[in-house]
Amino acid sequence: MKPAHCRSALAVLALGAAIAVCLWSQAWAETRYFPIPTASTTRNDGNDAGLIVPTLITKPDGDLQYVMAPMFVVNSIVGARGSLNVFRYDTGGREMRFIGSFTERIERKLVFSYIDPAFSNGRYSFSVGASFFKNATSRFWGISQQTTESDETNYTAREGRAYWTFGVYLNEVTQVSVGQRFREVRVQRGGTDLPFTAERFTTDGIQGATILGHRVTFLYDTRDSLVTPTDGTQVTAYAELNQNLQNGDNPVFYRYALEMKKLFPSESKRLILVVRGNVQTTFGRQVPFYERSSLGGQNNLRGYGVDRFIDDQLLALNIEQRIHVMRTRITNVIADFEVAPFVDIGKVFNTFRKHQFRDYVVTPGIGFRGIVRPNVVGRVDYGYSSEGGAVFAGLDFPF
């Protein structure tokens, strides 16, 4: 799916309104319509102004079942955009999503996904999804961490994706899964005045790619919630073999990754220290630049835009202190609000053989969170960097 765009501090208003809407609708167990003005500005994606009209449908017991959110915005780069977002939530963690949007210039998006983490009475997990999109504001600075702001180029990422995953629970906290993914990428002229990536770089992937990937994943997860955890540990390790079907000899490349998350709550859980470590390696022949390891974006190195640093290997450490500020009750719904100072540390590089304890990029920052447990999280994160920092808004924790 297309990565979430960086949002400005103006998105705080829309985020707060969305949380209030969710609280109200759950409390009254009805269908509600709430027009919400929205505005944002980002370095990569320009200025947005428009209107979102969420429709929230709850069950009689107050649990949220559907969110349908038509949206109309005008963007300074790609023009007017109309979109429809539909989300369905069921018991057992099952979730279905559909997103469709059409933009005046270049951009298009269709996304469908379905996940059932307790398939067949909890013995298996299953997920499937597909998407097509054109992102006219994608950026590329070149390979390595030594790239500078002056290296910035723009392209339209025209992509089709599909995937499936099937997992078997070995016990209550351990799962092994297999899956495949398909990704077709075409690099086309972008929507900004920046140099076109294909005219500045000749790195692998500029000519496009058709990737078929095969993955085996090991998951150990003792967290007390999938969406809004307060305690526990998660370890994810995977190995992936990928083929680029576009080239005649189908060159193969590999990706291995290990990610560890640990939550350290205080006795009252008003303070929760969250630590995540991540190591990833990619190697093989003719690896497209958008298939390599990258840092930057809403979930790591939050002081930079998406994919700011790209190379073969990645090391990252994220530390976040979630501090409970306030709890409020609206009828039968409880909302928690948090402040979360954080520091993100990471580097990308081309070999593990040298300099593993130097040249790390550090981005401190602060986040603001609104939580309706167990399935709603709204956040705004600001990360500082030497390139001016970045603001991200989303409906989940960064990790």
Per-residue pLDDT of the chain (399 residues; tens, 9 = 90+): 333 344 443 444 444 445 444 444 444 456 666 677 776 666 677 788 888 887 778 777 767 788 788 999 999 999 999 999 898 888 878 889 999 999 999 999 999 999 999 888 889 999 999 999 999 999 999 999 999 999 999 999 999 999 999 999 999 999 999 999 999 999 999 999 999 999 999 999 999 999 999 999 999 999 998 889 999 999 999 999 999 998 777 789 999 999 999 999 999 999 999 999 999 999 998 899 999 999 998 898 998 888 999 999 999 999 999 999 999 875 456 789 999 999 999 999 988 877 677 889 999 999 999 887 777 787 888 899 988 878 887 778 999
- Tokens 């990428």 found at: 185
Token pair of 311 as six digits: 């190379």
Compute the C-alpha angle 194/4/178, nearest 5°.
120
CA distance 163 to 141: 28
pLDDT of residue 32: 63
Please check whether residue 156 is in contact with residue 142, taking contact to mean a CB–CB distance below 8 angstroms: no
95: its two tokens: 């979730």
Report the alpha-carbon distance of residue 101 to residue 55 in Å, rounded.
17
pLDDT tens for residues 309-329? 999 999 999 999 999 999 987
Q: Give the model's pLDDT for residue 237.
A: 98
Q: Which residues of 118-132 are buried (b: 16+ CB within 10 A; e: fewer)?
A: ebeeeebbbbebebb
Q: How many CB atoms lie within 10 A of CB 318?
A: 22
